Structure 1
Amino acid sequence: MNIVKSQRDYAIDLLRIVSMLMVPMVHILGQGGILAAAVPFSIQYESAWLLESFLLVAVNCFVLITGYVYYGKETKYYHLLTLWAEVLFYSIIIIIALKFMVPNEIGLEHYWKSIIPTFFTKGQFSRYWFFSAYVGMFLLSPFVNLGLKHFDKKQDLTVFLTLFIIFSLLPTILNQDQALNLNQGYSILWFVVLYYTGGIIHKYEIFKKFKTYKWALIYIVCMLLSWAIRFVLESVGLIEPGFALYSFNCYSSALYFVGGIALFCVFKNINITKSSVISVIKFFTPVCFGVYLIHNNMSLAHFYFDGRFEFLASMDPISLVIGVILIGLGIFVACSLVDWVRELLFRALKVKSRLAKFEKNVYSKFNNYLNLNS
């Protein structure tokens, strides 16, 4: 067995891959129409929701990773610009392709909204909400990093508990998933909370507080509780059954917050040294974001994804779950292969290094301007 030693944390990369693998599955269940088509309280309905419950931590884990990785580091905005370049690349390429595929459905507004997709948040143009929230969080990250750098343990604990209670625990208990403009976790504010939490995990090495199996148990219990509470609330008529996210089944839920932290710590405690595994991780890590951008493109998904998987709702529970997993895996692999073409193109064009140079030049000119006027 070949052993590879590296400073890179491949366990975090693996979590990034697994989280992105979960995302298409969540979309298959939701936008794909399964949760809406399944008969409430049927075994198919409950099986679909149980699977959904275990998958919904994906977004939280993604943002926790960002907070963890960027802890103690200077904010480099070219990273954000590189991601934005990917968004623009797929938005424009896909809308042009759709013009040939469904010419009567694509108008001038589609081109305009494809150029600046992060500024449109209604209807089919809300697909890139994650990136929109991520942009806002990234811009605010220097201030969060400053706090993480200077706060002592007591101050960090106070801030963390305050954020948890106000923005997660109380809205969950009071069933107010729209409270404080959290919008069920689809917001910049919630991403900032997650970013800060990721930094806390890194700063105090929270993942070492329990053994891996205990973190895994916390994750499982939180997800089962979320499913069970939704089931009880629907059964007694306190909430309407159907495809909807409640305070116990949304990103900002206390259960998904704690469950996401637990799953993060499970992966952080994994020691990956086998070269073959590392090779697979290295292949998929750079193209993870592309999987999201391709399969959930605002226009492509509108025409070719929404409601396309309703047929799984009529299958037996095992076939339903296996179907979601296999289709999600297929989408992940297919989009990854497509995004490798984009990755190779960006490398050939030196997009990242050019943007890094651009950022450096802007900072240099700005500093010169400040020195001249001081």
Structure 2
Amino acid sequence: MITTTNDAKKDTNPYNPGVDFLRIFAMFMIVVTHVLGKGGIRSSVAGDPDPHFLITWAIQVAAYGAVNCYALISGYVSVNSNYRYSKCLTLWLQVFFYTFGFTVFFSLLQKPVTYHDWVEAIFPVITGEYWYITAYFGVLVFMPFLNLGLSKLKTKDLKQLVIFAIIFFSVLPALFNTKVDEFSFAKGFSMNWLIVLYIIGAYLRRLDLKRVFKKRTLLLLALSSMTVTFFAKFLIGDIWYWYTSPSLLAAALSVFIFFATLDIKSDSRLMAVIKFLAPATLGVYLFHLNPLMVRFVIRDGFVSFVDAPIWLFPFLILGTALLIYFLSTVVELLRMRLFKTLKIGQLAQKLDNILPFGIYTKS
């Protein structure tokens, strides 16, 4: 248990269903971006800004901040949690299930699977099979230090730290339209940027979001930020489209707070759907974005959508993403049942008995 100091408040309601609802929504948006990108649609509409081009990039910009939302969730839900090595092991086993499983599957289909593919499947985190997982493992390594340090900061000081980080790592590089290699943010595809978002999410946990923010204002800010991202990307530079972009970050923060402030009744059907789907969201990512799945199935698989009538075009994109999300969820739920039957979680927890993590106390 992490002992908080100063004015860090103890959570009275640790579970926020709105945040889990966002987990589902954000993962669907991530699938949408991959339908557009990996599916070849974005590259197919490159050129003159015709209606297909405008719709493609409007959807892309609207959905692109979902990764930032997902990282904000990590800080929001994990800042007050106990640190366990079993969490790292369980995550690794989940990733390994998909990387090794897909390699076996496509080998049986006699697809051109190489020796390098097998190495990456067996060591998925180190070889960067999924950039987010590799970056997040880096966050997991430093999570005890982050949580301890954050717990000892006054809310006022944490607020100042968050503002400074946003200005220094997001706003100034975008205003100067320059990539600062020394920050090692890699356009946001990095452990460092996930740590920044983790800290911001931890700060949001301190706030009474429902009292401070109004939903109408949040929606207006989100739409305005997305509009800025769209025009700034094409008129100023691609840095406004990176994950570190201040407008993309502002949109993600607005969407995050909007979902976090939703009133969802515990006995509602929506709550039942959230509790059913939210645990499977990471599996959706691991299934549909597996490198072999992308190479043999998804890569340039949706280029033909560009030839569809303009009224049908966005429905094909969103419908395909929904189908992929549904299929990925089914596979992940089966994986979860298999792991439960094999008692993988209980076996992983034995690691905590072998390597117990100490209790933080006030210094």
Separation in structure 1 between the aligned mates of residue 210 and residue 100 of structure 2, nearest angstrom: 41
- CA shift for structure 1 position 207: 5.2
Report the counterpart of residue 193 of structure 1 in structure 2.
196
Number of aligned residue pairs: give it.
344
Q: Deviations over 1:48-86 (max 9, x none)?
A: 001001101111111111100112222223223211111
Structure 1 counterpart SS, 2:241: coil
Aligned partner (choices 268, 273, 296) of residue 260 of structure 2: 268
Report if aligned partners of 2:45, 2:306 keep a CA contact under 8 Å in 1: yes
Separation in structure 2 between the aligned mates of residue 7 and residue 165 of structure 1, nearest angstrom: 30
Separation in structure 1 between the aligned mates of residue 41 and residue 242 of structure 2, nearest angstrom: 18
How do residues 2-41 of structure 1 correspond to structure 2 at under 5 angstroms? 8-40=15-47, 41=49
Of the structure 1 ranges 276-285 and 331-340, higher mean CA displacement relative to structure 2 is found in 276-285
Report the counterpart of residue 130 of structure 1 in structure 2.
132
Report the counterpart of residue 75 of structure 1 in structure 2.
83
Q: Deviations over 1:84-141 (max 9, x none)?
A: 11100111111000002234x11222111101122224xxx5xx00100111012112
Code of the residue aligned with 1:55 in structure 2: it is A
Of the structure 1 ranges 314-323 and 44-53, higher mean CA displacement relative to structure 2 is found in 314-323
Separation in structure 2 between the aligned mates of residue 9 and residue 204 of structure 1, nearest angstrom: 13
Q: TM-score, normalised by structure 2?
A: 0.90
Report if aligned partners of 1:312, 1:323 keep a CA contact under 8 Å in 2: yes
Q: Does 1:162 align with 2:164?
A: yes
Structure 1 220/44 Cα, relative in aligned 2: closer, same or farther at 3 Å? same
Q: Deviations over 1:295-317 (max 9, x none)?
A: 10011211111111111223343
Separation in structure 1 between the aligned mates of residue 215 and residue 176 of structure 2, nearest angstrom: 32
Report the counterpart of residue 114 of structure 2 in structure 1.
107
Report the counterpart of residue 332 of structure 1 in structure 2.
325
Separation in structure 1 between the aligned mates of residue 249 and residue 144 of structure 2, nearest angstrom: 23
Separation in structure 2 between the aligned mates of residue 341 and residue 44 of structure 1, nearest angstrom: 37
Code of the residue aligned with 1:119 in structure 2: it is I
Root mean square deviation, CA, Å: 1.9
Report the counterpart of residue 105 of structure 2 in structure 1.
97
Separation in structure 2 between the aligned mates of residue 292 and residue 170 of structure 1, nearest angstrom: 32
Separation in structure 2 between the aligned mates of residue 168 and residue 39 of structure 1, nearest angstrom: 27
Report if aligned partners of 2:209, 2:260 keep a CA contact under 8 Å in 1: no
Structure 1 71/327 Cα, relative in aligned 2: closer, same or farther at 3 Å? same
Report if aligned partners of 2:18, 2:264 keep a CA contact under 8 Å in 1: yes
- The alignment-based identity, stated in percent, is 26
Structure 2 counterpart SS, 1:175: coil
How do residues 316-355 of structure 1 correspond to structure 2 at under 5 angstroms? 316-355=309-348
Structure 1 gaps, min length 5: 1-5, 234-238, 240-245, 368-374
Code of the residue aligned with 2:272 in structure 1: it is S
Separation in structure 1 between the aligned mates of residue 295 and residue 136 of structure 2, nearest angstrom: 22
Q: TM-score, normalised by structure 1?
A: 0.87
Structure 2 counterpart SS, 1:169: helix
Aligned partner (choices 303, 312, 329) of residue 305 of structure 2: 312
Report if aligned partners of 1:160, 1:197 keep a CA contact under 8 Å in 2: yes
Separation in structure 2 between the aligned mates of residue 219 and residue 75 of structure 1, nearest angstrom: 33
Structure 1 7/117 Cα, relative in aligned 2: closer, same or farther at 3 Å? closer
Separation in structure 2 between the aligned mates of residue 146 and residue 317 of structure 1, nearest angstrom: 52
Q: Does 1:256 align with 2:224?
A: no
